[in-house]
Amino acid sequence: MKICVLGGDGYCGWATALYLSKKGHSVSVVDNFMRRQWDHELGVQTLTPIQPLSDRLKVWREITGETIELFVGDVTDHDFLASTIETFQPDAVIHFAEQRAAPYSMIDRKHAVFTQVNNVVGTLNLLFALKELAPDCHLIKLGTMGEYGTPNIDIEEGYITIEHNGRKDVLPYPKQPGSFYHLSKVHDSHNMMFACKIWKLRATDLNQGVVYGTVTNEVELDEALVNRFDYDEVFGTVLNRFCAQAATGHPLTVYGSGGQTRGFLDIRDTVRCIEIACLNPAAPGECRVFNQFTEQFSVLELAHMVQTAARKMGLIVDIDHLPDPRVEAEEHYYNAKHSKLIDLGLSPHYLSDSLLDSLMNIAIKYRDRVDPSLFLPQVQWRNARNERRQALSSAAAVSLTEGAF
Amino acid sequence: MKICVLGGDGYCGWATALYLSKKGHSVSVVDNFMRRQWDHELGVQTLTPIQPLSDRLKVWREITGETIELFVGDVTDHDFLASTIETFQPDAVIHFAEQRAAPYSMIDRKHAVFTQVNNVVGTLNLLFALKELAPDCHLIKLGTMGEYGTPNIDIEEGYITIEHNGRKDVLPYPKQPGSFYHLSKVHDSHNMMFACKIWKLRATDLNQGVVYGTVTNEVELDEALVNRFDYDEVFGTVLNRFCAQAATGHPLTVYGSGGQTRGFLDIRDTVRCIEIACLNPAAPGECRVFNQFTEQFSVLELAHMVQTAARKMGLIVDIDHLPDPRVEAEEHYYNAKHSKLIDLGLSPHYLSDSLLDSLMNIAIKYRDRVDPSLFLPQVQWRNARNERRQALSSAAAVSLTEGAF
C-alpha cells in the first residue's frame, strides 16, 4: 500500500514509518520538525540521542534498501498538505502530526490556543484535502484514551448504545477530556465523524493509551535509527519517566495517591495496530473508533513495578507522592473496552518483567544524559499561567543545592 | 448588575443589550462589526435598514437616558478582550460574539477553518480572561440546539444519566452537530466544561433554538433602533426567510420533505432567557446547560403556517420542495427537553397567528428591499467548495431574464 505518515519524525510516527516500510509498503513521511523545536523551547532532550531525519532516512535506505519519501512542511499549511496528498496519492494517511502533550497545552493561554488551533486546523485541512484529492484514501487518525476521561461506567469503543425513556440509539460516547490537548482530540473526533457522514470519507480514530518503550525491531537495526525516549515532565510519558528516575537514583514522582488508572501499550503494539488498521480499512462513510491499548494500570502500580525491576538491578528507589498538578480523580472506576484490534489480529506485548528490564537498561545506558530538574511537574492545571522558565531555574537551583550536601 | 454583551451589534446581541439596559443594568457592548462585514462579503442586506452602532447607541441614550458603553474590538485579540474585562469588571458576560451561520461555515475550507478558529479561540480567550481578571464573573455563552443533532432518544439539557452494564453516571449529552459551525459550538461546550472544572468558573451554556422575529419592546421605541431581519440563504433563519418569500410572492423554499424538526423561540424570549440566566447565576465550578427554545416545529409545519397567514392578507404562496443542500435526516424523532428556563420564570411568547401576522407585516413593510436571488440555497454540504459568487451571478442573471419576460 501507499501510506503517508504525517508526523513521521516523532515518537510513534518514526517507529510506524519504519515498521510499515519494512513490511513492504511504500511509505512517505511528512514532518515540519516542530517536535524537535518544542525540545528547544522547553530546554529538554530525549534520553536517546536521536539523529536528524535526513540522516535517519539515509541509514534506513542503506540498511534495508527501502526508500522513505520525505515531504517537509506543516499540515496547517493547506497548500503544502494538498500538494503532498496530490503528489503521493496515498491509500492510507496516518495522522500523528499534532501537539500531543497535555502539560504543554496547559502552560498558558498561548500554548492552549496553539494546541487547539494547530491540531484542529491540521485535521480539518486533511479532511478537505482527502475529500477533494483522494476521496477513497483511508484516514487513520491518532486520538487518545484521554478523550473519555474517567466515567463511572464502562468505556466503549467510540460509541455507546443508550436506552432512555423507552427509546434506544447508538450515539458517540460522551467525552470528558482532562486538558486543552485532550480537548483538541475530542474536537478532531467530532469533526471527523461529521466529514465522514457528509463526504463518505473512510476513517479510523485510534484512541490510543499511554505508550511506553522505545525499541522496535526496526529501530534496533542501527544506533542511527534510535527512537525518542522522553522523560521530562511535559512530553515524557509516565513509565519512561519512572525508568529514567530509577536509573539515576531519583524518587519516582507519583502525582497524588497514584490511583489514576489508564490504558497502556508497548510501542511495538502501536505500530502493529496501525498496520492492522491499514489492512482493514473503514468503509466509505464510516468513522470507526478503536481503543488502542492492551493493559490497564494505575500510576502507583507502575511505580511499584519499576521499583521492583530497579531493585533487581541493585537500585534502591523511593516513591514520592507529589501534590497532583492536574485536576483529575486520584481514585476512580476504570474499565475500558479494547477488543476490536484484538479481533482484527493484534497479539499484544504485555508489560512483563523482561520488558521492564529492557526499559531500565535503556535508561541506564543513557543515564548521563538525564537532567533531573526535568522530573518535577512545573505545569499546574489550576493556574492559567505557568512561568515555566522561572520554575525551571529555581528547580535547577534546588537540585544543585541538594547535590552539594 | 454590570453586564458585558459580546457581539452586541448582532441580531440577538442588540436586542439583549437594549433589554438589559432598559431593565436598569449597567450594560456594555463589545463588537468588531464582523457581522456587517459578512453582509458585504456575501452581497446581502438585512431586510430592515439597521443603523450604524454609534447612531443606535446615541438614539438609545436620547430616548431612555441610559448609556451603553462601547468597546470596539475582536474577542480573538486577547489583549483587547482582557483589557475590556479588566476595565469594565462585569458581573456577567454574555457571549454572542461568534460566527453563527451553518451555511457560512460550509462554503469552503477557509470558511470552515475561520468559523472554528474564530469561535473556539474567542471562547478560549474569554475563559482565560475570566480566570485571570474576573474569576467570579458569570459566563453566559450562546450554544445551539444543533449541537445535539437528531438522536433517536429524548434530548436532555446538557447532561444525561446513563445506566450501562449495571453502573450509572451523569455524563455530557452525546453531540452530533450538523455543520462545521455547529461543531464549533460543541468544541466550545467541551472547553467550557473543562475550564469550569479546573478553575471553578461559573458558566451557563444556552443551547438556543432557531430565533424568529425582530420586534422587542425596546427596538420598537424608534426606527433607528430597528433590529436585523436576515432572510438570505446563508444568515437568514427559516421563518424569517419564509415571511420574506411570502411577502414578495415567491414560493417558500422547503429543503427536502420538510420533516426536519427543530426548537424555535421568539426573540423576546431570547432576551428574557438571558436575563433569567444573569439573575440566577451558576455556582462556582458549575457549567450548567439550558435548552433555550419554547416550541418544536417541522420546517413544513412552519411553511404551512406562513402560507395560511399570507392567505389572510391576500397573498397566495406556493411551497417548493428543493433537494436538501444539507446532509440531515428529513424525517426523524425529536423530543427535546426545555424546562429549566421555564422553572426559573420564563413565560414564553408562543408562535401565534397574531405574531405571524406581525412578522408578515414587517416583511411586507420592507419588501422593496428584498433580493429574491438570495432565497435559493447555494451552499451544498456535499461539496467541499461552493463557488458562491458564480452561483450568485448566474442566479441574478436568471432573475433578470425572468424579469424581462
Could you report the per-residue pLDDT of A43-94, keeping only the tens digit for each? 999 999 999 999 999 999 999 999 999 999 999 999 999 999 999 999 999 9
Identify from B194, B200, B324, B379 which residue to disrupt to test chain A contact, counting A C-beta atoms within 10 A and taking the largest count: B194
Contacts made by residues B105-111, CB under 8 angstroms, sequence distance 24+: B105/B179, B105/B180, B105/B181, B105/B184, B106/B179, B106/B180, B106/B181, B106/B379, B106/B380, B106/B381, B106/B386, B107/B379, B107/B386, B107/B388, B108/B384, B108/B385, B108/B386, B109/A78, B109/A124, B109/A125, B109/A128, B109/B384, B109/B385, B111/B180
Report yes or no: A330 and A257 within 8 Å, Cβ to Cβ.
yes
Phi, psi dihedral angles at B80 (to 5 degrees): -65, -50
Return the half-sphere exposure (C-beta side, CA atoms, 13 A cut-off) of residue B256: 15
Known active-site residue B340: no
Q: Phi and psi at residue B188, in whole multiples of 5°?
A: -55, -45
Question: With an 8 Å Cβ cutoff, are B165 and A154 in contact?
Answer: yes
Over residues A246-279, the pLDDT tens digits come to 999 999 999 999 999 999 999 999 999 999 999 9
CA distance A389 to B229: 52
Cell representation of residue A314:
541493585
Nearest CA-CA distance, residue A305 and chain B, Å = 30
CA–CA distances in Å: residue A53 to residues A70, A224, B308: 9, 10, 70
In angstroms, the CA A341 to CA A291 distance is 8
The pLDDT of residue B391:
52
Q: Do A162 and B154 touch (CB under 8 A)?
A: no
Mean pLDDT of B269-274: 98
* Residue B354's pLDDT band (cuts 50, 70, 90): confident
Sorted by sequence, the CB contacts under 8 Å of residue A223 that are 6+ apart come out as none
Looking at this protein, which amino acid is placed at residue B178?
G
Grid coordinates belonging to B206: 444556552
Q: Which residues contact B222 (CB under 8 A, 6 or more apart)?
A: B59, B63
The residue among B156 and B355 whose pLDDT is bigger is: B156
Active site residue B185: yes
Pick the residue from chain B with its C-alpha nearest to A115. Answer: B121
pLDDT (tens digit per residue) in B276-314 = 999 999 999 999 999 999 999 999 999 999 999 999 999
Name the residue with cell 498558558: A108
pLDDT reading at A283 higher than 90: yes
Residues B183, A191 contacting (CB under 8 angstroms)? yes
Chain A residues whose beta carbon lies within 8 Å of the beta carbon of residue B113: 121, 124-125
- Candidates B57, B199, B290; CA nearest to A179 is B199
Active-site choice (B46, B115, B123, B144): B144
Average confidence (pLDDT) over B226-236 = 96
Please write the tens of the pLDDT for every residue from A101-159: 999 999 999 999 999 999 999 999 999 999 999 999 999 999 999 999 999 999 999 99
Indicate the pTM of the whole model.
Answer: 0.96
Dihedral of the CA atoms A31, A221, A93, A120 (nearest 10)?
-40
What pLDDT, on a 0 to 100 scale, did the predictor assign at position B389?
Answer: 60
B-chain CB neighbours of A194 within 8 Å are 177-180, 183
Which band of pLDDT confidence, cut at 50, 70 and 90, is reported for residue B353? confident
CA-CA-CA-CA torsion sign (A153, A293, A322, A106): negative
Distance separating alpha carbons of residues B364 and B354, to the nearest angstrom? 15
| Interval B85-104 mean pLDDT | 98
Chain A hits for B193, CB-CB cut-off 8 Å, are 176
Q: How far is A92 from chain B (nearest CA, A)?
A: 20
Is B395's pLDDT higher than 80? no
Contact A128 B164 (CB under 8 A): no
pLDDT at A184 over 70: yes
Q: How far apart are CA B374 and CA B382, in angstroms?
A: 20
**Among B148, B181, B212, B334, the one annotated catalytic:** B181
Query: Quick count: other Cβ atoms within 10 Å of Cβ A79?
Result: 9
Residue A62, C-beta contacts closer than 8 angstroms, at least 6 positions apart: none
pLDDT in tens, B111-146: 999 999 999 999 999 999 999 999 999 999 999 999
Per the structure block, which three cell numbers stand in for B274?
A: 438571558
Residues in chain A: 405
Would residue B20 be called left, alpha or beta, if left means φ above 0 and alpha means ψ between -120 and 50 degrees?
alpha
- pLDDT at A153 (0 to 100): 98
Q: Kindly report, residue by residue over A3-18, the tens digit of the pLDDT.
A: 999 999 999 999 999 9
Q: Which residue has the higher pLDDT, B402 or B3?
A: B3
Binary contact (A174, B176; C-beta < 8 A): no
B112 and A128 within 8 Å at the Cβ level: the answer is yes
Residue of A108, A126, A164 to mutate, interface with B, max B Cβ within 10 Å? A164
Tell me how close the Cα of B214 comes to any Cα of chain A, in angstroms.
32
Task: Say which residue, B182 or B388, is predicted with more confidence.
Answer: B182
Categorise residue B213: left if φ over 0, alpha if ψ from -120 to 50, beta otherwise: left
Which residue, among B132, B187, B189, B379, would best test binding to A if mutated, counting the most A CBs under 10 Å from its CB? B187
The per-residue pLDDT for B291 is 98
pLDDT for B384 beyond 90: yes
Report helix, strand and coil shares of chain A as percent, to nearest 5.
Answer: 45, 20, 40
B47 pLDDT more than 80: yes
Q: What are the φ and ψ backbone dihedral angles of B3, each rounded to 5 degrees?
A: -125, 130
| Closest CA in chain A for residue B169 | A152
Give the number of other CB atoms < 10 A from CB of residue B135.
13
pLDDT at A396 over 50: no
Residue B164's closest chain A neighbor by CA? A153
Segment among A178-182, A217-221, A399-403, B51-55 with least mean pLDDT: A399-403
- The pLDDT value recorded for residue B387 is 85
Dist. CA A347–CA B385, nearest whole Å: 43
Q: B361 by DSSP, 3-state: which?
A: helix
Location of C-alpha cell 473496552? A337
Mean of all residue pLDDT scores within chain B: 95
Please say if the pLDDT value at position A373 is more than 70: yes
Cα(A109)–Cα(A116) distance, integer angstroms: 11
What per-residue confidence (pLDDT) applies to B393?
47
H/E element, B30? strand B26-31
> Is there a contact between B191 and A180 if contact means CB atoms under 8 Å apart?
yes
Interface probe for B, chosen from A77, A119, A190 (most Cβ of B below 10 Å), is A190
Q: How distant, in Å, are the alpha carbons of B3, B57, B123, B192, B313 from that of B85? A: 10, 20, 13, 18, 49
**B109 vs A78, A112, A384: nearest CB:** A78
- What pLDDT score was predicted for residue A224? 98
Read off the pLDDT of each residue in B213-236 and give the average, rounded to a whole number.
96
Instruction: Tell me what the mean pLDDT of segment B241-259 comes to.
Output: 97
Task: Give the single-character DSSP code of A195.
Answer: H
The answer to whether the CB of A104 falls within 8 A of the CB of A234 is: yes
Residue A47 CB-density burial (10 A; 0-12 exposed, 13-18 middle, 19+ buried):
buried
φ/ψ of B293, rounded to 5, equals -155, 170
Q: Report the residue of chain B nearest A380, measured CA to CA.
A: B198
| Positions of A marked catalytic | 144, 181, 185
Instruction: Please report which confidence band the pLDDT of residue A393 belongs to, taking 50, 70 and 90 as the band edges.
Output: very low
Residue whose C-alpha is closest to residue A290's, from A267, A273, A305: A273
Distance CA A141, CA A341 (A): 15
pLDDT(A397) > 60: no
- Give the residue from chain A lying closest to B119, CA to CA: A117
pLDDT of residue A355 exceeding 90 = no
Predicted local confidence at residue B400, as pLDDT: 39
Nearest to A32 by CA among A6, A12, A58: A6
DSSP code per residue over A75-117: TTSHHHHHHHHHHH--SEEEE--S---HHHHTS-HHHHHHHHH
Around Cβ B136, how many Cβ atoms within 10 Å? 11
Q: Is residue B404 pLDDT above 80, yes or no?
A: no
